[in-house]
Amino acid sequence: MTIRDVAKVAGVSPITVSRALNHPELVTPDTLERVRSVVSRTGYVPNEIAGSLRSRRSRIVAAVFPQITNSMFVDTIQALSDCLRQEGYQVLLGLSSYEEREDELIAGILGRRPEGIYLTGIGHAPDTRRRLIASHIPVVEAWDLTPTPIDMLVGFSHEKAGEAMARYLLAKGHRDIGLVWGNDLRAGVRRKGLLSVLAEHGIPEVPTGLEPAPGMFQRGREGLAELLGSGARVSAVACSSDVLAQGVIAEAQDRGIRIPGDIAVMGFGDFDFAAHTSPSLTTIAIEKAMIGRLAAQALLARIQGKEVAERIVDVGFRLVERDST
Amino acid sequence: MTIRDVAKVAGVSPITVSRALNHPELVTPDTLERVRSVVSRTGYVPNEIAGSLRSRRSRIVAAVFPQITNSMFVDTIQALSDCLRQEGYQVLLGLSSYEEREDELIAGILGRRPEGIYLTGIGHAPDTRRRLIASHIPVVEAWDLTPTPIDMLVGFSHEKAGEAMARYLLAKGHRDIGLVWGNDLRAGVRRKGLLSVLAEHGIPEVPTGLEPAPGMFQRGREGLAELLGSGARVSAVACSSDVLAQGVIAEAQDRGIRIPGDIAVMGFGDFDFAAHTSPSLTTIAIEKAMIGRLAAQALLARIQGKEVAERIVDVGFRLVERDST
DNA sequence: CGCAAAAATGGTATCGGTAACATCCTTCGC
DNA sequence: GCGAAGGATGTTACCGATACCATTTTTGCG
């Protein structure tokens, strides 16, 4: 079943069928009706591959994430996908697995000629960067901040987020601060910010339970156990994610440690449970869905040839104080 | 930059370039080297759209999920994507949003001529079903069971899972059983199984807190509040997901209700936290990643023309008894 | 060394749409 | 009633790869 078959049955030329389907306003109501009836009767499905080749418009946007299990990105994916679909774009999903396979992955993606590319983070191989720039495809990097993005960017400063966590805990009077921290890229930057503020305040040594990325509940338990086992004095524990924090709290409660009485706990991400646990969780809230929405809008704008005024959008973050600190 | 440009520079014909890239074993090491050097120097990226059109092989597999926020499907997506990528396939992600937009979504997807389609669940519009069958594209439905799948199927019986939950709680001596339940399709089937067993045992009335899909932490709290507020006597609460169960437990603990002493709580899904909360959560474990892996393998096998012996794979489920019951 | 078989390479057509331009048919104003 | 303008439809070529078959080159062996 090709457009030619449909055309023959409907008694028009192939291009008229094409128009009836893609630009119905250019076609007489009469022929439109005729074409549509043939299409629905025959179950004809236009081959978008052929269309894409000729029109040089793939109607595909690629989205690359390190991984999606136990991660903060699902809300972003959902929002991104919803926005793009509304405009007739489909999402090609790439999961780069936190390993260094992003390279190959993006190489493969570029062959598909997507009209836009969403990337998680700003840490890409120089080669990848070059390739992306050379491709002239609109790119949005997200979930991080840099003055020199590949193209566009929607994110926030992890360094500042880490600093905010430190300042908050200091303001609460804590000086014996321990970390339970995942080891992914962006968490590392938050940690750096956090440590730098602590250092400024004369706290150079910070006991840390480092966990493989990304934060899982059980890792939080192990992290706290590790901290306590090390003999370090700890009056507050900062975590690189709410999930870790939840694990820390569970472990503390099992050990009869009161929160926030004995130890204050702070998370990151403002997952949907954070407001509702006991105690509710002090955390850093990120507009996860907003990032996806803004990224989609930025890509769509550029695809439609509009110049995007703000190539860098800082969505910021919000420290949400709750009962765990 | 097209294959012709590369060919010209390398001093060979376009087809030789094509072979060098896709079937290097058919080409002299010498020419292979020459072509590769030109490719890497020029940054040529083959246009897969053109290749797909001619070869009728899109190297794309589409995957449709109702949604991914707060859902059990992320592990499945991850496994599916990883397996497919290993074989050179890319994943076109479709999120149908639990609303009835699956139809359009799949229509759009078919135009891309994917070589395989993964669908979540077995409830599809008759029209969609027809279209999929007519397309002759391998299809795997997953996360559910039916004797009459569109094509292939990897899942388990939600009805039996519900029954198992009921039997387990009955065996534990509970007769005052309340539900906190999400209202998505598959949860509904589990509920049906559960209620039927209870009815068999002379328990026709089961107080239920129904929550909008899918289970979220806060909904669990509200669900328990609702149950208790209704005045019904409840010695056990069954939940349609571990996340809801976690909310139920949190609410109970806040109210000074001991678990499992006063009320037993049971979840579904065996999320990664289920084993590590306090008390740890009795639940139904599903091999989420395995579903993705098997689905990918089934699709790949069919794509490679192998006949799949077992078109229906029941991955079953496992009732995991822990401390919450 | 000569010939058959196999390996390597090339020429041409084609996948199924749409861009670009051409043509035909209305409509409308004077 | 006629010409201009605009709307509807058609013709042709082309997007950039690869399938298919033909041709050339190399290899192996008596």
Q: Does at least one atom of strand D sit less than 7 Å from the CB of B23?
A: no
pLDDT at B236 over 80: yes
Contact between A247 and B271 (Cβ < 8 Å) = no
Consecutive H or E run containing B93: strand B90-95
Inform me whether the C-beta atom of residue B92 falls under 8 Å from chain A C-beta atoms. Answer: yes
Q: Does B133 touch chain A (CB under 8 A)?
A: no
| CA separation for the pair B193, B116 (Å, rounded) | 32
Question: What pLDDT score was predicted for residue B210?
Answer: 77
Mean pLDDT per 10-residue interval, chain A, length 325 residues: 94 95 93 94 96 97 92 93 94 83 91 97 93 96 97 98 97 95 92 96 86 78 93 93 94 93 96 89 97 97 90 97 95
Residues whose CB falls within 8 Å of the CB of residue B77, separated by 6 or more in sequence, listed in order: A68, A93, B63, B65, B68, B91, B93, B292
Residue of A nearest to B86 (CA): A105
Interatomic CA distance for residues A319 and A25, integer angstroms: 51
Strands B152-155 and A264-266: what pairing?
unpaired
Nearest protein residue by Cα to C1' of nucleotide D12:
A15
Average pLDDT, chain A: 93
What's the token pair of residue B272?
């990664």
Question: Is residue A64 within 8 Å of A102, Cβ to Cβ?
Answer: yes
Given CB atoms, is A225 within the 8 Å cutoff of chain B?
Answer: no
Residues whose CB falls within 8 Å of the CB of residue B232, separated by 6 or more in sequence, listed in order? B176, B178, B207
Strand D near-CB residues (< 7 Å), B 194-213: none
> Roughly how many angstroms between the first and final C-alpha of chain A, as a whole number?
65
Are A94 and B92 in contact (CB < 8 Å)? Answer: no
| pLDDT at residue B67, rounded to an integer | 87
Q: Which two tokens stand for residue A90?
A: 């489909």
Nearest to A142 by CA among A160, A128, A124: A124
Chain Cα centroid distance, residue A175 = 33
Q: Pick from A64, A85, A244 the residue to mutate for testing the B interface (most B CBs within 10 Å).
A: A85
- Give buried/exposed letters for A6-36 (b at 16+ CB in 10 A, else e): bbebbebeeebbbbbbeeeeebeeebbebbe
Residue-wise pLDDT tens digits, B112-153: 999 999 999 999 999 999 999 999 999 999 999 999 999 999
Going by the DSSP 8-state scheme, the letter that residue B269 receives in this structure is B
Query: Could you give the 3-state DSSP secondary structure of residue B155?
Result: strand
How far is B221 from chain A, CA to nearest CA, in Å? Answer: 8
Residue B199 confidence (pLDDT): 95
User: CA-CA distance, A191 to A189, in Å (whole number)?
Assistant: 5
Q: Taking CA A121 as the corner, what is the angle to CA A120 and CA A126, rounded to the nearest 5 degrees? A: 110
Q: Which residues in chain B have Cβ-Cβ distances shorter than 8 Å to A43? A: 130-131, 134
Chain B nearest C-alpha distance from A276 (Å): 6
Nearest to A49 among B49, B82, B135 (CB): B49
Q: Given the structure tokens 């669900």, which residue do they identify?
A: B223
CA-based nearest residue to B128, from B109, B108, B107, B151: B107
Report yes or no: B324 at the A interface, CB cutoff 8 Å. no
The pLDDT score that the predictor gives to residue A44 is 95
CA torsion sign for B59, B109, A22, A41 is: positive
The b/e string for B200-239 (b: 16+ C-beta within 10 A; e otherwise) is eeebeebbbbbbebbbbbbbbbbbbbbbbeeeeebbbbbb
Supply the DSSP symbol for A24. G
pLDDT value, residue A214: 62
- By Cβ distance, the residue of A82, A111, A246 closest to B47 is A111
Residue B119, chain A, CB below 8 Å: the answer is no
Query: Any atom of strand D under 7 A from CB of A12?
Result: yes
Per-residue model confidence as pLDDT tens digits over B52-105: 999 999 999 999 999 898 788 999 999 999 999 999 999 999 998 756 688 889
Contact of A70 with chain B, judged by CB distance below 8 Å, is answered with yes
- Average pLDDT value for chain B: 93
CB A83 within 8 A of CB A296: yes
Q: Which residues contact residue B276 at a Cβ distance below 8 angstroms, ignoring those fewer than 6 apart? A: A217, A218, A221, A247, A250
Domains of chain A (ranges plus CATH)? 3-46 (1.10.260.40), 58-156+288-316 (3.40.50.2300), 158-285 (3.40.50.2300)
Q: What is the pLDDT of residue B214?
A: 62
Q: Please provide the DSSP assignment of A187-212 as one string.
A: HHHHHHHHHHHHHHTT-----EEEES
